[in-house]
Structure 1
Amino acid sequence: MAESALPFTSQGNRVGLWLIRALVFAAFFDLFVQYPVAAPYAVALGASSALVGLIVAAYSIANLLANVGAGIVLDRWGRTRPLLVGLIATAAVVAGYTLVRSPVQLVGLRLLHGLVVAVLAPGAFALAGDVARTEDRARVMGSNGAVIAVAAIVAPSFAGVIQERGGFHTVFLFDATLLLIVACLLWLFRAHLRPLDLGRSITMSDSTRWSTLLRQQFAPYSTILGFTVALGVLVTHVPERLQALGISPAVRGAAFSLYGLLAAAVMISPVSGRLIRQQWSIGAAVGAGLIALGLLIASGLGMSSPTIVEWATLFGAAVFGFGFGLLFPAVTAEVARRVPRQARGRAFGFFYAVYSLGVILGALAAGWLAEFGGLTSGWPFLAGALVVAGGSIIPLVERRVREEAAV
């Protein structure tokens, strides 16, 4: 029987929804599982402190540049083939970590890892935008965001436990196996991923040009840049600050777990979808405002007592997660809506390049401000709050301009 393009809400395409969730989980599990093991593995291979920093950063630098190229590949050769190649190549590179014998070899593999994995996240989100109906996109993107939040909670703790019991190589081999399993699932069930607009022309048009794309996506990209700068501040300064104040590492884990759990809960709840269906700019602005508020709370507002900072960090991380739960599905659904299918790979490729850039800038800013104000200061959080608050204004300004132009 011939395959038909069915919306996500129908029985026939539920397999497609779960397959995309599996792709998203595998892509972000691979990212988050590295966090607790990349630096210790480099040290175990004899890397100096400076070389450890280069090894950790090599992946992000390569991934930042490769995301844009991945978008072009996805638009030119479709979604399934690049995703299959990306999954298999990433699995091979991750398994290759077990063969590394020197820090220099590890730098090379980290660069290669960042390159080959770049197609996975843009490909999965472009695919979700292709097969979901317009009215379902916020819900679909929200469910994908919830999967990312779950991966962020599960992967680091899993890596820590497995590395302690079975060593670094066990972590890498498990990650590679997961990627290969998802590659097999993608190959077996690829027929369930046919886009709704399959019959439309996919020839190059003005909407596929970079200049046009950037103009179309200026507001969503600006919003996500503000958020990711704030995220880079959060993931960098929370551990440093808590450690400097002598607060238990368990509090750090609890803070990031609260962030992930709240984000996942909001993304799969009806609240996010209802808000976004009214206006994406409202969902994005409210989400960004809550993220800024979360950082302000986490700063402790000038308080230096370890007990106050501990509770402020936990509460601030929870509010931050709530805001992320509103912002992420709003922005990703809007990125998909603003472009036709033939430009959606590029749109999400650039989206994730901006995402990586924001995290890098946020981490660098947090380090510099902590050096300036001290590890126990709340200045990095205040700066991050200002940036994300500024990003929240842009969608509202764009909406106001369009309303005035329509009058």
Structure 2
Amino acid sequence: MVSLHPINILRVAGIVDGISLIALLFIAMPLKYYGDLPMAVTVVGALHGGIFVAYALSILFTQLRVQWHVGLSFLAFFVAFIPFGNFIFDLYLKKHQKRYHVKPFQKSWIVYMIIFFTFIDLFTQLPVISTFATSVGATAMVAGFIVGIYSLTNTFGNILSGVLTDRYGAFIVLVIGLFATSGSLMLYNFADNVQILVAVRFIHGFLGGLIVPAAFTLLANTTKKDKQGSQSAITGSFVGIAAIVGPAYSGIMANRLSVPFVFTSVAVVGVALAILTLLFLKATATKTVKEQKIRTPFQFNKGIIQSYSGAFFLMFSQGALAYLLPLHVESLGYSSRLSGTLMSMFGIVAVLIFILPTNRLFDKLHPAYSLIFGLSIIGCSQIFIGQMTTSSSLYGALALYGVGFAFLFPAINTLLVRSTTASIRGKAYGYFYAFFSLGVVVGSSGLGMLPLSIGGSFLFTGILLLVLASGVFFTTVNSMKLNKEEVNITGQEKTR
């Protein structure tokens, strides 16, 4: 039926969402602030929130069935935050609807959603877990331990996931990981004292670590070799969206309802994805297991070392940013709200590079050069952030950081895939994300132990990243020179 075409469903949902946004901004909010009727925002805001969820689901349904460029889905998402944006986007949909046809369901999108779920799980914790810890009786020092224990146990979960993925396949690890992580999220409803919360964080971190290595391994093993770069960019876009949406969602819902509700809602998504994995991914995962019968021992090589180094220092930089940026913003006299919008700036820039035609660069550009460029840009931006004193200059520095992140994330993933075989890729990704978790811990807590000012810490981080980029550059150039010399010698021997 034409009326049930995904584009038609999206258009209807978009129009309704646009109307509800206008009602919230131009009717309910004036009634609250000028008519002394705060209930208007409460009612219309709740209604708009429900409509927006339905609209977001219609975007996902359209992406899965029409399979248009993922950038259009992200555009459809972003216009929902702009007054009258939905109506303008609807004009585009009406004009171009005939070019989009319903296509067979692509199973890889389930894996993308699993990756999105994992990082939403991570990023929803950031604004609320420390305050939740203090609300159940934790001191500031204990609250810091409660925040950090997740990343610590997550490291061990990552490593175990890699071992199990290579031995039993990604499918079974994903199913167990999704159900187990969802169960651990539900445990927050019972965390009414410090001891229970510590235990829940320990369990949550460990079980949550099972998912990502298995998901990335399955995705890598089912992606064409010449598309690994752009595929990593698309994956990065889901990570970026999670970084933007997760903190905002948890901050709003925790304030309106409760922190356990936030984790419970994420758990519901995890259970739904576990069911989808059981229904649709078994055949795909079984095929990749059969292709992994010839096993080779895991060995470190140059590509793996570069990938792990990039992963560690990317998250070292992230940890440093999460620790230093709020302190820097506060020292300049700005409100804490600016820190959140600055973090969103880098995420938005990175996502735009991931989803626009610029993502084709990652298939053409050698990942080692993309790694060097990304590290250099992030290093420079860290130095700039520490020197900036105005909000506009800080936004510019964070936008530059987003460019570096956009080049670095696909590079380290592509390097890892090209440097491993399918039989050891699970273990390789397990170690990879262990370095991810360790980087956050060292970047946030390690810098706090150094006798440096805020600006000095930014400078130290930037110089460290630039030194690493220089080291990768010289080793890559020397390696290419050696390869060229070997080719020349081989050619000379053949002509004799």
TM-score normalised according to structure 1 size: 0.89
Match for residue 274 of structure 1?
361
Q: Is 1:366 the counterpart of 2:447 in the alignment?
A: yes
In structure 2, C-alpha distance between the alignment counterparts of 1:173 and 1:107, rounded to whole Å: 18
Q: Partner of 1:222 in structure 2?
A: 309
Deviation of 1:214 after TM superposition, in Å, equals 5.5
The superposition leaves residues 155-192 of structure 1 with CA deviations (integer Å, 9 ceiling, x where unpaired) of 11100110111112211210111111111111121156
Amino acid at match of 1:259: F
Tell me which residue corresponds to 1:5.
none
2:377 corresponds in structure 1 to 290
Match of 2:236 among 123, 145, 167: 145
Query: Aligned partners of 2:292, 2:404: CA distance in 1, in Å?
Result: 38
Task: Tell me, yes or no, if structure 1 residue 382 matches structure 2 residue 459.
Answer: yes
Amino acid at match of 1:138: G
Residue 479 of structure 2 aligns with which residue? Answer: 402
Find the counterpart in structure 2 of residue 63 from structure 1: 154
Residue 243 of structure 1 pairs with residue 330 of structure 2: yes
Kept in 2, the 8 Å contact 1:15–1:192? The answer is: no
Query: What residue identity is the alignment partner of 1:49?
Result: A
- Cα offset, 1:195, TM superposition: 8.0
- Which residue of structure 2 lines up, in the alignment, with residue 20 of structure 1? 111
What is the match of residue 4 of structure 1? none
**Hey, what's the Cα distance between the residues in 2 that align with 1:267 and 1:201?**
30
Matched ranges for 1:6-405 at <5 A: 15-191=106-282, 193-194=284-285, 200-205=291-296, 208-209=297-298, 212-213=299-300, 216-300=303-387, 308-369=389-450, 372-374=451-453, 377-405=454-482
Distance 2:112 2:131 in 1: 30
Instruction: Determine if contact 1:131/1:196 at 8 Å carries over to the other structure.
Output: no
* Pairs aligned (count): 385
* Aligned partners of 2:228 and 2:363 also within 8 Å: no
Kindly indicate whether the alpha-carbon contact (under 8 Å) linking 1:222 and 1:394 is maintained by their aligned counterparts in 2.
no
CA shift, 1:13, in A, is 7.7
Seen in structure 2, the aligned counterparts of structure 1 residues 199 and 46 have a Cα distance that, compared at 3 Å, is closer
CA distance in structure 2 between the aligned counterparts of 1:136 and 1:12, rounded to whole angstroms: 21
Aligned partners of 1:104, 1:329: CA distance in 2, in Å? Answer: 39
- Deviation of the 1:367 alpha carbon: 1.9
Note the aligned Cα RMSD (angstroms): 2.2
Amino acid in structure 2 at the alignment position of 1:290: I
Task: Tell me which moved more, 378-387 or 81-90.
Answer: 378-387
Paired residue secondary structure (1:261): helix
Contact 2:171-2:282 at 8 Å conserved across structures:
no
Deviation for aligned residue 1:95: 0.3
Q: Provide the rounded CA distance (Å) in 1 between the counterparts of 2:464 and 2:138.
A: 35
Give the secondary-structure state (helix, strand or coil) at the position aligned to 1:299: helix
| Corresponding position of 1:3 | none
Are residues 297 and 201 of structure 1, via their aligned partners in 2, closer, same or farther at CA, if it must alter by over 3 Å?
A: closer
Contact 2:134–2:143 (Cα < 8 Å) also in 1: yes
Query: TM-score, normalized by length of structure 2?
Result: 0.74
Structure 2: unaligned runs, 5 residues or longer = 1-66, 69-101, 486-496
Report if aligned partners of 1:291, 1:385 keep a CA contact under 8 Å in 2.
yes
Q: 1:202 to 1:299 in 2, by over 3 A?
A: same
Aligned residues with identical type, % of pairs: 25
